[in-house]
Amino acid sequence: MRNLALVMTLLSVATSSLDAQRARARDLGVTPGVFAPGANNAITDVAGVRVGHVTVTEGAGVRTGVTAIIPHDGNAYLERVPAAIWVGNGFGKLIGSSQANELGELETPILLTCTLCVWKAADAMVEWLLQQPGMERVRSINPIVGETNDAQLNDIRSRPITPAHVREALEGATTGAVAEGSVGAGHGTVAFGWKGGIGTSSRVLPKSLGGYTVGVLVQSNFGGVLQVMGAPVGQELGQYAFKDALSRDGGDGSIMMVVATDAPLSDRNLKRLASRAMMGLGRTGSSASNGSGDYVIAFSTAREVRRGFHATRLTTTELANEEMSGVFEAVVEGTEEAIYNSLFQATTVTGNGRTVEAIPLDRMRAVLKRYGRAPQ
């Protein structure tokens, strides 16, 4: 009996160690799609794109943060990139969306944060931008700030985000590997009943399809019936929307999806690209429930389509419609994998009087193996 107890203890320790380490989807044999990822398998594989996080933890209640996505190394206001926003379900607050869609461009970095902090974050970014060189005569700025509601783990009513947090996220943004899981704007989020967070992924098209890179970053905070590579993980693990027929839990929540590409796309084709990200979301088991704010922000960094602020005419060279199918496939695959990474990298978080557990990777892998979706 003592030997059996020792074996059980060792197995428990090994399992806890696996889940404590966490892992990206590819580390677990989860490789959605047919295209290969970039060097970092992140949105930063699109040259020039930078990401910065500030994770805010205060006392027993505050569990939130800010994530900044910067489209290129220059001044985003003076050297604008074409962009489009797709609304899968509009139960959310995406500041700046109407002008971005009207003009088809971004003129600021993108910020993600918690629901009641979007206005504070927008104000802080505007203040920061006005202080940048070349902005002395600027009289109007359209900040892009998205959110998800992290009130389950975060004392959201305290609205804890400050200008210092926003400035740190913007000025600390870097290329290369991107931190995922319970960091930045994903610190207090929940997805499919488990801990959600920040996730990212990328795809590089083969040379025959243009060799373009598509990168995706998500802030996952939504519900549904989790599927991983088609395997019914949520049902097998006993945690999913509508589990109780008498329950009104329909998987509400939200997700922000940011898509970057170096393919030279017009804002019209960027809107088409953004709409395909919803297909990647659907593959994971979301049904875009009534209370879910599901938004996609897509932009192109290609110099052939950038827009100078002072230009009186624009001459651009954009990818033809007939060349878009590979880019569409890339964003579907990248979005799906970014969501998995947000879940698999997230750690258990306690805040605001509640604990939300990270998805148990050992049990999840066992489900994938039973359904032939992971290496044996």
Active site residues: 254, 292, 294
Residue 372: CA count within 13 A, CB half-sphere: 0
Helices H, strands E: what count in the chain?
8, 15
* Rounded CA separation 94/263 (Å): 25
> What does the alpha-carbon distance between residue 97 and residue 85 come to, in Å, rounded to a whole number?
7
- In eight-state DSSP terms, residue 223 is -
As a residue count, the chain comes to 376
Give the residue among 337, 85, 319, 114 at the shortest CA–CA distance from 221. 114
How does DSSP assign 99-159, residue by residue?
HHHHHTEE-S-EEEEEGGGHHHHHHHHHHHHHTSTT-TT------EEEEE--TTTS-GGG-
Phi first, then psi, for residue 293 (nearest 5°) are -90, 105
85 phi, psi to nearest 5 deg: -125, 130
DSSP-derived 3-state class of residue 350: strand
